[in-house]
Amino acid sequence: MSRSVPAPEPVVPRSVAVIMDGNGRWARRAGLERIRGHERGIDAVRTTVTECARLGVEALTLYAFSEENWQRPQREIDLLFKLLQRFLVEERPTLMQNRVRLLHAGRRERLPPPVLALIDETVALTRDNAGMQLCLAISYGGRQELVDAMRSLARRVASGELSPGQIGEATIRGALYQPGVPDPDLLIRTAGEQRLSNFLLWQISYAEIHVSDVCWPEFGREQLEAAFRDYGRRVRKFGKVL
Ligand code: FPP
């Protein structure tokens, strides 16, 4: 008699990061314009945020707009920011109900002022929420984050506030965009791609990587549970012998 191996239980990671890929492909396959894929992607964002908050994830970081995304057609950029603005307004009650605290990671300089204003307002509104931290990476690049961190540390050294010998991992972490967000335990990427795409290069050092074959608009509860189940299978040694 064959005995089946029970599927591992899903394990809820403390910190999760997601590269939401495949909006364009999903739309093309459905015979729609690329931007329709981003619109549908919002539903997947909503499900992932509420489900992670419900399950007790402490921090969720979503790659919403990369430094490289500035090279997309202006029409697509405008639509992405429109969707983002709508999300920041319409989801406020859900963020409050779920006690989610919003944070932003990325360069502020190139963001349109109305987008920045809505980010700042939502960050301020949710500041005292003690539940999950939702960090939106917008106009974000991992290398750019390290450049900005090094510049700020160099300024402190130049002013005499810090000596080079005092710079260590903790000082560098402190100079990142969101030092309070714990390093991701699990990085999820959709649409089958196996790349980091300049995401959280410092923070991702020991993250487990789960690649989901579905495009982001199709990512739902079932796919999140599969990712947590896969995570539950991983043996994390952090370079040590167990
Ligand atoms: C990648 O798909 C997705 C993006 C560049 C943007 C992700 C944005 C959203 C899901 C909507 C806004 C986000 C929030 C948090 C409200 P792609 O266009 O690169 O897909 P493709 O590789 O198939 O072309």
How many CA within 13 A on the CB side of residue 75? Answer: 4
The pTM is what? 0.96
Angle at 152 between CA 148 and CA 153, to 5 degrees: 115
Q: How crowded is residue 226: how many other Cβ atoms within 10 Å of its Cβ?
A: 17
Percent of the chain at pLDDT > 90 equals 93
**What one-letter code names the amino acid at 209?**
I
Please say whether the beta carbons of 70 and 110 come within 8 A: yes
Atom of ligand 1 at shortest range from CA of 87:
16
Task: Look at ligand 1, atom 16, and give the residue with the nearest C-alpha.
Answer: 84
- What is the per-residue pLDDT for 241? 84
User: Which of 38, 41, 52, 43 minimizes the C-alpha distance to 10?
Assistant: 52
| Alpha-carbon span 66 to 26, nearest angstrom | 19
- What is the per-residue pLDDT for 217? 98
Give 58-86 pLDDT, tens digit per residue. Answer: 999 999 999 999 999 999 999 999 999 99
Question: Per-residue b/e over 57-95, b at no fewer than 16 CB within 10 Å?
Answer: bbbbbbbbbbbebeebeeeeeebbbebbbebbeebbeeb
**To the nearest whole number, what is the mean pLDDT of the chain?**
96
Which band of pLDDT confidence, cut at 50, 70 and 90, is reported for residue 7?
confident
- What is the per-residue pLDDT for 240? 86
Give 134-156 pLDDT, tens digit per residue. Answer: 999 999 999 999 999 999 999 99
Catalytic residue among 43, 69, 148, 198: 69
Q: What are residue 189's DSSP bridge partners?
A: 19, 211
- What is the per-residue pLDDT for 238? 85
Note if 128 is an active site residue.
no
Give 121-137 pLDDT, tens digit per residue. Answer: 999 999 999 999 999 99
Whether 20 lines ligand 1, by a CB cut-off of 6 Å, is yes
Q: Which CATH superfamily is domain 15-141+183-232 in?
A: Decaprenyl diphosphate synthase-like (3.40.1180.10)
| Alpha-carbon span 200 to 31, nearest angstrom | 33
Whether 42 lines ligand 1, by a CB cut-off of 6 Å, is yes
DSSP H or E run through 80: helix 74-90
DSSP H or E run through 170: helix 169-174
Sheet of 15-19: strand order equals: 101-105, 133-140, 59-66, 15-19, 186-189, 208-211
Distance spanning both ends of the chain, measured CA to CA: 34
State mean pLDDT over 156-179.
98
Please say whether the beta carbons of 216 and 23 come within 8 A: yes
Note if 129 is an active site residue.
no
| Alpha-carbon span 202 to 169, nearest angstrom | 10
State mean pLDDT over 149-171.
98
Atom of ligand 1 at shortest range from CA of 34:
18
State mean pLDDT over 154-179.
98
Q: Domain extents for the chain?
A: 15-141+183-232
| Alpha-carbon span 145 to 107, nearest angstrom | 8
**Both tokens of residue 226?**
């599969």
Atom of ligand 1 at shortest range from CA of 62:
15
How many CA within 13 A on the CB side of residue 57? Answer: 31
Mutate to test the pocket of ligand 1, among 16, 18, 19, 21 (most ligand atoms within 8 A of CB): 21
Give 107-116 pLDDT, tens digit per residue. Answer: 999 999 999 9
